[in-house]
Structure 1
Amino acid sequence: MSSPRKDTNVDMQLLGKPSSPSRNGEMIVDENYDPHLHRNRPHPTTNFETLVHLLKGSLGTGILAMPQAFYNSGYLSGVINTILIGILCTYCLHVLVQAQYVLCKRHRVPILTYPISMKMALEEGPQCLRPFSRYAIVIVDGFMIVYQLGICCVYIVFVATNIKQLVDVYLTLDVKIHCLILLVPLIGINMIRNLKILAPFSSLANVITFVGIGMILYYILDDLPPLSEREAFADIGKFPLFFGTTLFALEAVGVIIALENNMATPKSFGGPCGVLNVGMIVIVALYAGMGFLGYLKYGAESLGSITLNLPENEILSQSIRVLFAIAIFISYGLQCYVPVDIIWNVYLVDRYKDSNKKLVYEMLVRIVVVIVTFLLAVAIPRLGLFISLFGALCLSALGIAFPAIMEICVLWPDKLGPGKLILWKDIILILFGIIGLVAGTYTSVRDIVYSFQ
């Protein structure tokens, strides 16, 4: 996970006027400038390393929630729509990466962050959108912060719920008590300010995750019921929950941008056989397979994490819960790094740069962020609904609507294709993102409220 403000010098330059020369207010683009050739990354990744990072970054709590997602859609609808959502996510990521490339080329800079790209695109787009450019950075950062905090909440609930199942054999405690017990260790891991220190733990977490998934498949494939006992299509009213969960599982826009920015050969990221397409094909296949098999095994009893469906008293299943609890706990530190980095380095650090207590203030920010995620987790300890809520609320915007808006602005006004076909296509994507956001958020919030009644 890389910092969204890693290239501070580039960001500060682009907060002012465009760096490209202009004539009569019109931008002059140097077609010979290739941003990819001017990137100077200290430790660039190879194509294979990028693919591995992409796969590892996508195998977390999302894949464990897919059986319940398939319960909300039906097995046939689940398979088809997981593939369609995967295609949609992949296409929108291509749109975002290509739009950023055009902006980099136009402004003669090697790398741009997502918020800065959005601001610059709106400044150059249709007149009706330009006034929003002044809010673009705050809006994109806001969605990123909410999404990352949402992931942290999901992780707290996941770890607490799995530990509860382990401990319930000996002592029954409310899941909120387990969340409280986790608070101090979570604050401790979030005090780590250097990602290099977390990197070895992250590698351990990834190994644990792959081993755990293999052990889960052992349980799933044992004595599967006939397909006729499961619904091919579920009630349409539950589909927004499926959409939110699947989007949460598949969409990793922040990670994707960071990986592409850090590649030694970024041109290999896109393309029909590029790293993104290959990685997403594998990811979609894994998610669809886990969702289908998990739902086939557990049906309507599928819970927010498939680990919660495993037998409670068997040593193997208990080992799986311990493994995933450790892996997700370690991952909390990485996920929490992003909102802390945005809040502190973008919005607060300048206020305290000359203070002798600068480090103290940063530590306070880290503690407050953990406490906020803890309070949200305690307030709404509903793992599946949490995942669906934050998937629909944030990723419908970050992963679908915003890339489409950016493409319109970057290609405005005369590069939108015959009959402005790209414009109409992007409008459809924007509407789809808005509908997904509203419907998914409404359904998740409604079911969260119902779960307390």
Structure 2
Amino acid sequence: MLKSLTKILSLQSNYGIKQRREHDENIVALPVQLANCNVCVEENRHCNCDHTIAEDRNNTTTAEGVNVDVEHDSNADSSFAHAVINMVGMLIGLGQLSTPYAVEKGGWASTLLLVGLGVICAYTSHILGKCLEKNPKLTSYVDIGNQAFGSKGRFLVATFIYMEIFMSLVSYTISLHDNLIIVFLGTHLKLKLAILSTSQLLTLVAVLIALPSLWIRDLSSISFLSSLGILMSLLIFVCVSVTAIFGGFQANNNHSIPVFKLHNIPSISGLYVFGYGGHVVFPDLYKSMKDPSKFTKVSIVSFTIVTALYTSMGFMGAKMFGNDVKSQITLNMPPNQIITKIALWATVLTPMTKYALEFSPFSIQLEQTLPNSMSGRTKLVIRGCVASFLLLTILTLALSVPYFEYVLSLTGSLVSVAICLIFPCVFYMKIFWGKITRPLLVLNITLVIFGVLLGVIGTISSTELILRKIMSHHST
């Protein structure tokens, strides 16, 4: 299972562990020798493109009416249960920390939006599987974008993926900062000529501890970080549940939360969507399954579990703390209890497990763009320096804009809505155009319009809240 976890969480295959060629540009393509490439197949013409010479292939598959030799993936050994565990583990993350806050801000009925988005994202996961089923040559989310809209689609998808990685890491670092304050409550650090507060210095130290992991070229050496991150997320949920059941809290603030707060829906919609972000690596999960035909069932079961987890977390946190609930539920837990310390340390360790894995797609792509004349050591130094610079930039942004809920909401509204909702529907309609039934066409168009509206109003609302906070901070 660890091999499968590493495969889907590292995002390596999205950016080309294997050197590939494609139409008129040196970008990622399939490591197979084809009679026709994707673009030429769609245009029903013979392809004269050069392709990488393939290794021995184990099976032949017919795709788009063309017989091609498809590489057998020796790692495609995930069972149904393993696939569900992988998908659930991929989806659980920062979203669960902010769900109680979102429920309190949106009202109890806002959980209907949370459940509805879970259903929609399960459907978009299903249609991504359909795109992969139609053309077995596709191996990643980026490949699906390329199949639908060519190199422009590939570029657009890659841009959004990088944006999501960058903004997510800013949110993780803010979470690291906020929870370190509680973990080291009462600690005072002061350095000469330093203008940073104690909490900022602690965050800097934590990031510097994680920094060397960015210099490791072989990600299999740090593959345990993927499973460790999943374990930390599940541990947080268990700790909150134990606190809710055995913590002795009285729901005396329950009456103060109304049924519905319509004016807060734009800002919390991004928080809900962010919790379902995982579609980028779903193609890798699909390819890793022994029986990909069960991918839809995997999606239904996984999103059902995650939606139930988020909903229960939201109700527990909002019921325990009412209007006092904070943007991260761990900040509300009684600081002197051992279960709280476990949850806080799990929340602190989670970002530190993410940096190397989240940076891997960018690092791999960067190294591939460097001249072949460079030695491996030189490439390692360059990718390490660039990644370190970006991480320090992320740290600077996190300390400058330490508003976890607003940054997370902006990430969800600006990026996650597109990746989880809009793009899959658009790609599906384009790839299956002429074969899609009218009801499905109407459904997908409706979801695209809904996603665009949700993204636009959520982005505007979150941006306004961030700017208002910054202006308020500077005025004081």
TM-score after normalising by structure 2:
0.81
Aligned to 1:70: 103
SS in 1 for 2:370: helix
Aligned partners of 2:170 and 2:398 also within 8 Å? yes
CA distance in 1, matches of 2:285, 2:251: 41
Confirm or deny that 1:265 pairs with 2:298: no
CA distance in 1, matches of 2:440, 2:202: 50
Q: 1:325 to 1:319 in 2, by over 3 A?
A: same
TM-score after normalising by structure 1:
0.85
Aligned partners of 2:64 and 2:135 also within 8 Å? no
Q: Deviations over 1:141-166 (max 9, x none)?
A: 11001101112111111112111112
SS in 2 for 1:12: coil
Aligned to 1:145: 162
Q: Deviations over 1:293-324 (max 9, x none)?
A: 11111122221211111123444423321232
Deviation at 1:214, TM superposition (A): 1.6
CA distance in 1, matches of 2:254, 2:343: 29
SS in 1 for 2:38: coil
Q: 1:32 to 1:134 in 2, by over 3 A?
A: closer
> Unaligned 5+ residue runs, structure 1?
123-132
Aligned to 1:432: 450
Matches within 5 A, 1:283-362: 283-342=306-365, 344-345=366-367, 349-356=368-375, 357-362=378-383
Counterpart residue type for residue 436 of structure 2? L
CA distance in 2, matches of 1:135, 1:22: 16
SS in 2 for 1:250: coil
Aligned partners of 2:91 and 2:278 also within 8 Å? yes
Percentage of identical aligned residues: 19
Farther off after superposition, 333-342 or 137-146: 333-342
Q: 1:250 pairs with 276, 280, 283, which one?
A: 276
Q: Deviations over 1:230-262 (max 9, x none)?
A: 434342221122210111112211232221122
SS in 1 for 2:78: coil
CA distance in 2, matches of 1:449, 1:36: 54
Q: 1:24 to 1:101 in 2, by over 3 A?
A: closer
Aligned partners of 1:205 and 1:330 also within 8 Å? yes
Q: Deviations over 1:64-106 (max 9, x none)?
A: 111011122112322x1211110011111111221232233xx
Number of residue pairs matched by the alignment: 426
Counterpart residue type for residue 280 of structure 2? G
Q: 2:249 pairs with 199, 216, 223, which one?
A: 223
Aligned to 2:400: 379
Matches within 5 A, 1:48-197: 48-78=81-111, 80-104=112-136, 109=137, 111-122=138-149, 133-171=150-188, 173-197=197-221
CA distance in 1, matches of 2:256, 2:16: 48
SS in 1 for 2:135: helix
CA distance in 2, matches of 1:137, 1:65: 32
Q: 1:168 to 1:223 in 2, by over 3 A?
A: closer
CA distance in 1, matches of 2:84, 2:414: 27
Q: Deviations over 1:6-57 (max 9, x none)?
A: 4645663759943776897599x85787999864233632222111111222
Counterpart residue type for residue 326 of structure 1? L
CA distance in 2, matches of 1:88, 1:36: 35
Deviation at 1:393, TM superposition (A): 0.8
Q: 1:396 to 1:312 in 2, by over 3 A?
A: same
Q: 1:407 pairs with 417, 428, 431, which one?
A: 428
Aligned partners of 1:115 and 1:140 also within 8 Å? yes
- When the two chains are superposed, the root-mean-square deviation of aligned CA atoms in Å is 2.8
Q: Deviations over 1:420-450 (max 9, x none)?
A: 4433322222211211211111111111112
SS in 2 for 1:72: helix
Counterpart residue type for residue 86 of structure 1? G
Aligned partners of 2:257 and 2:323 also within 8 Å? no
Deviation at 1:228, TM superposition (A): 5.1
Q: 1:333 to 1:18 in 2, by over 3 A?
A: closer
SS in 2 for 1:387: helix
Aligned partners of 1:97 and 1:257 also within 8 Å? yes
Q: 1:177 to 1:445 in 2, by over 3 A?
A: farther
Aligned partners of 2:215 and 2:380 also within 8 Å? no
Confirm or deny that 1:12 pairs with 2:45: no
Aligned partners of 2:118 and 2:276 also within 8 Å? yes
Higher RCO (CA 8 Å, separation ≥ 6 residues):
1
Q: 1:84 to 1:407 in 2, by over 3 A?
A: same
Q: 1:218 to 1:18 in 2, by over 3 A?
A: closer
CA distance in 2, matches of 1:73, 1:434: 20
Deviation at 1:350, TM superposition (A): 3.0
Confirm or deny that 1:45 pairs with 2:78: yes
Counterpart residue type for residue 165 of structure 1? I
Counterpart residue type for residue 116 of structure 2? L
SS in 2 for 1:289: helix
Counterpart residue type for residue 53 of structure 1? N
Deviation at 1:284, TM superposition (A): 0.5
Aligned to 1:125: none
CA distance in 1, matches of 2:280, 2:431: 20
CA distance in 2, matches of 1:277, 1:194: 34
CA distance in 1, matches of 2:68, 2:231: 35
Aligned to 2:385: 364
Confirm or deny that 1:416 pairs with 2:436: yes
Q: 1:207 to 1:425 in 2, by over 3 A?
A: closer
Q: Deviations over 1:308-360 (max 9, x none)?
A: 11123444423321232123322332223234334x15xxx233221132222
